[in-house]
Structure 1
């Protein structure tokens, strides 16, 4: 067994292996920069590394040894709380070891991730398309919606509906579907959204964004591949937002931001050591008048995360979130309305004061305990009460819901011989949501009337069992196989019409297999094949007319899919000197076929699962980081998306048209552009004391919004610019200032920012589908911080 002792002296480390090492402060934390080869054997489980740090006379708080097969970021806490981040997983070529750190690029790779395989392992070894966004990239946004945060992720298209947190998110086409008023605002579907591993996505697959706190996030992990074999109802992938608990020293920050159209955000953040743990708190309040009429919004968010090492092998996490979110909905426009005045709102939406007022909270607990080197048990539990009010489709609705659940996993690590290691994972997920919905008549001014028109219960349960086994052969090969069984059950009960009481279950087993090959320690190739499951959402389960005795559609089946994916990931070292640096890129090619795709009838009043689609595409993402402070990043997605089978029975529109079908075979899938892209150029010179400048661009190709392919959204391109300061120290004290001035849509381009899919028609027979993109707008942000 090897051991490596590191000694700190005036900010510099040395290692007995003779590697050059530096210790520097970055973004409020301390980071150990070492040649990446030093930790490669540890991350691959081939050795044990013992670190005994010393800090200018302070004794260490203890010595931590990370045993064989440990696959997590190496961090040691010592007085005064020095966090040593070992950037291991990827080895630089041997001839680079003689370089000094000043000649080498200090680029933080997303080395370790847990979301792709539900075990901690290096980014290169995961046989999936996977992106990890660090906190530094999130600081370049106003922190209101996921559209800014995920703009540079290939394969992921996030479009803001009218400038606040309500977005339309699609991954490889999943999440794109919609039908009229019933499924085109307020929620997304097909993609699983998590916060610290707790589901924002409800058991039926719908996701609201009320508790999404980008201001307090430490990182975002995005699985772009089919994730149902581990996460269940997540055919489109997974987005996991992690709290900012990865800090070294206690800190406090106050931020204020102002912008066009009444945008105003105030935020407090703090981090503290509590015993052996770290407590992170974020409180924010965001208000906006909105650019369009009837689009005012206001949200207050509180997030607290306490992560504590309560024993050498035991970790406890406690998480608390709460939100009050009120936003009004301007509704879609016709083409003629958009041409005349894109700021206007739909007159009916104004009359009904269409809005959502969501108040909700969540408390969650995580627990992990290891027994020796081989066994790890993990569990979590959460409770998420909700009180939701909305004016919607000419009714006022009161929702009282509770969403609760948890999971349990067991992980076993073993070695068959020195060259063959194995990780077995088995687990269970359970999530249940239930509650009452009261329907009232709407008053003339959009308020709640006194007449109760419906009182019903709407519940859903999502239970899943999964198993996964990964075999690693030497340093080059790893093979992963697994599968998951899901049972998703809907419950419906009417207290006004009790004969409509009903229940319906969707059951499915989803397999997955993947392989990774690493020809060098800085490059990998992977391939995988897997299935996906997505059930019709709760508002897509209404019975087919003339059925008046069931609350749930008996003719629906699970939406299933098969994905084949190949890809490569690589870190390349550029030359030395001012133009030296690194290039990190990933490329993914995919082919997927969806069976039992959902087919909307009569503007989404009911559905059949009778369609079949094929989607295939290529994704490319890269970042070039140079020593001189220049960085360039970009993402490109191109795809071909077709309906293979899609027939609409005309009898449900006109009883005289029995056995007459509208056939949309070979049409393009609605809501998915054939291409979308982003690019950004940033300059942040190390000698400029935190100053940076950034320009970026984002755009999409044209796409159809309806299944018959009659209505098309044109392509668009938007440019943005930003200048700012990043943690400029005020004298020799603990205080820093940060801030930026951002101009979005610099060229004031008029474009369709988002669109309703399969839109309703107005009285003149014109489709109402356009949600205009914001014109040129400004955001000014200021942050005062202190590291205590």
Structure 2
């Protein structure tokens, strides 16, 4: 994570309230300027800094995420963010395992418990389930990571917020070609074009960035090959002196084998192997997603702004699981999932800045509407003729057919007051209404249609005190809310047919104290927090890729996050972080034993990161980092855990600047000392296959060539 000079510039433009298409980081305000609002619209010429924002926030820049990296997974560049546990499963059929302060750790695929946005378009559906597979790292300008109470203002699934902002095209027009080759037959090739017809301040100015890439790999483990095609484009137009319009288009196609998990004994014996059912049924997944968005922004004088973000997309998923036919013939289970999702939404908001009782104040009011319709079908993964079972791993008889509809309608309001030169207050509230309706078309086992609706007020507030221009402290509190996802509602823990409508939404209350101090060209930040949750949604059972969920009563998370970034001696950068998180059940979550007081599985108690880089603008560069992860419990009973580990990496490269050409040649070694460790765990896997293996020592080399049309 690079610190920009001469100031720590960082825009926390998080798009439920502020769709961030087209805005880059700008200089941070002084303590005496207009109030800082965490998630509100601000003028283009103002930005929010990590120092001034009264919340736990980290900003990672795209150029640092790309340096000597394959640019395939979001986990490559976010390991140093405090409070963020981001694990690569080495399984492209299931996405990354990502959690913030322990929220999201239960997910067996995709991302839950966290809101993700890319240029203002949610990568999280209305039910709270999201993915990172459509994020083009080669196009990222910066990533904002928000933790703590204020993430509640983003509605459902708000353990935290990850906001990805892609690059805005600038002069001169530039064409870039890249290629990367790594261990296990991994290739990534990319092409990117960017530029503009002006500086973006005059009517008719146009900026553009467009990229395509293809990634293929044989995979570290058996049966873990994958391919991904990704395209991303943004086109911005300055309509007049007061308004802009930005078009955003993204498309991805993924084909991936699913290696599944291993028992501790299988992992110790051979971490590259897979369970026999995985190969027998050829477990795999195909994903196709295309979406487009349109972002309109207009200023009405110096004190009022309007923002309208609208988008639509389609996501098609076909997944072949390794559930044996014996289990399917004795129950309502099925081995093939076929989903088609259409989603769309609009977020509209107005911001006004003024003075009240001689105090500078800003207020934002908005309305967010999202909807998703899903056609969900399930098939057997075999064919049956009498007592014979054939065509294992192929689509067989229909066993499920339903249409699901989920939507949310959320009005929100936020205000910021500059009470004095030292004191400021930020407060906001959101009323979240989420509706779910399912219409069953497969009536052979009865009509399993059903519906649910959830309502929740989500308040948050933060009081900040500026000790001096370089040091502040804050106290914040808020209420969070997380509904079950459609996937979590789709299967009952008792194995019976029908929806899991007994699953309740979880609610949590968080209080946090933090402090931030600028030291030279660096920033030191610290936060301590406590989160109490009721009806936490946890994994009840996980068998052969099928998960069911239940409510766990009460849980508590207590933690501390420390982060320090420093740029010194010109081009040297130091990044270090440490996270302590004690997450436990406060009531019994187990059926056969008492789990009260046990650690919540899937969450590391300690995480540490230390990175040192030499990164001049041209010439030789290089770096090293060390990551530590403590043991992670794999089940509610805390009888199995993935052992702790420490891994390190080295990278180096050389960048040539010759006339209009830039040539960047790099190489890296990951897991330098060939440590054998578990990359992630599958929580409560009923067959005991909890472990997803991480690779040993592996290598990569990359070449990027760009030409600027000056």
How far apart are the structure 2 equivalents of 1:491 and 1:512? 30
Matched with 2:314 is 385
How far apart are the structure 2 equivalents of 1:337 and 1:536? 33
Q: 1:667 to 1:315 in 2, by over 3 A?
A: same
Q: Is the 8 A contact 1:464 1:486 kept in 2?
A: yes
Matched with 1:463 is 409
How far apart are the structure 2 equivalents of 1:783 and 1:606? 45
Q: State which of 558, 561, 585 in structure 2 corresponds to 1:619.
A: 561
Q: 1:312 to 1:611 in 2, by over 3 A?
A: same
Q: 1:170 to 1:665 in 2, by over 3 A?
A: same
Matched with 2:56 is 129
- CA-atom RMSD in angstroms: 2.9
Alignment of 1:482-631 (within 5 A): 482-497=428-443, 499-542=447-490, 551-573=498-520, 582-603=521-542, 606-631=548-573
Q: Is the 8 A contact 2:139 2:166 kept in 1?
A: yes
TM-score, with structure 1 as normaliser: 0.80
Query: Does 2:419 match 1:479?
Result: no
Query: Does 2:389 match 1:432?
Result: no
How far apart are the structure 2 equivalents of 1:149 and 1:712? 26
How far apart are the structure 2 equivalents of 1:609 and 1:638? 25
Secondary structure of the residue aligned to 1:488 is strand
Alignment of 1:178-327 (within 5 A): 178=107, 184-185=108-109, 187-245=110-168, 247-274=170-197, 275-327=204-256
Number of paired residues? 664
Q: Is the 8 A contact 2:492 2:549 kept in 1?
A: yes
Secondary structure of the residue aligned to 2:239 is strand
Q: Is the 8 A contact 2:575 2:612 kept in 1?
A: yes
Q: State which of 414, 419, 423 in structure 1 corresponds to 2:354.
A: 414
How far apart are the structure 2 equivalents of 1:531 and 1:524? 24
Query: Offset at 1:610?
Result: 4.2
Secondary structure of the residue aligned to 2:268 is helix
349-358 vs 394-403, which moves further: 394-403
Query: Offset at 1:170?
Result: 0.9
Matched with 1:760 is 686
Query: Offset at 1:145?
Result: 1.1
Query: Offset at 1:539?
Result: 2.1
Matched with 1:577 is none
Matched with 1:50 is none
Secondary structure of the residue aligned to 1:500 is coil
How far apart are the structure 2 equivalents of 1:301 and 1:691? 30
Q: Deviations over 1:632-654 (max 9, x none)?
A: 1111101211111124456xxxx
Secondary structure of the residue aligned to 1:541 is helix
Give unmatched runs, 5+ long, in structure 2: 12-19, 198-203, 324-334, 383-389
How far apart are the structure 1 equivalents of 2:491 and 2:320? 23
Secondary structure of the residue aligned to 2:487 is helix
TM-score, with structure 2 as normaliser: 0.88
563-572 vs 747-756, which moves further: 563-572
Bigger radius of gyration, 1 or 2?
Answer: 1
Q: 1:606 to 1:139 in 2, by over 3 A?
A: closer
Deviant stretches of 4+, over 6 Å: 31-36, 72-75, 111-115, 545-548
Query: Offset at 1:136?
Result: 2.0
Give unmatched runs, 5+ long, in structure 1: 1-26, 44-71, 76-82, 93-110, 179-183, 574-581, 651-661, 762-766
Matched with 1:775 is 696
How far apart are the structure 1 equivalents of 2:224 and 2:38? 35
Structure with larger RCO (C-alpha < 8 A, sep 6+): 2
224-233 vs 303-312, which moves further: 224-233
Q: 1:254 to 1:545 in 2, by over 3 A?
A: closer
Q: Is the 8 A contact 1:115 1:223 kept in 2?
A: no
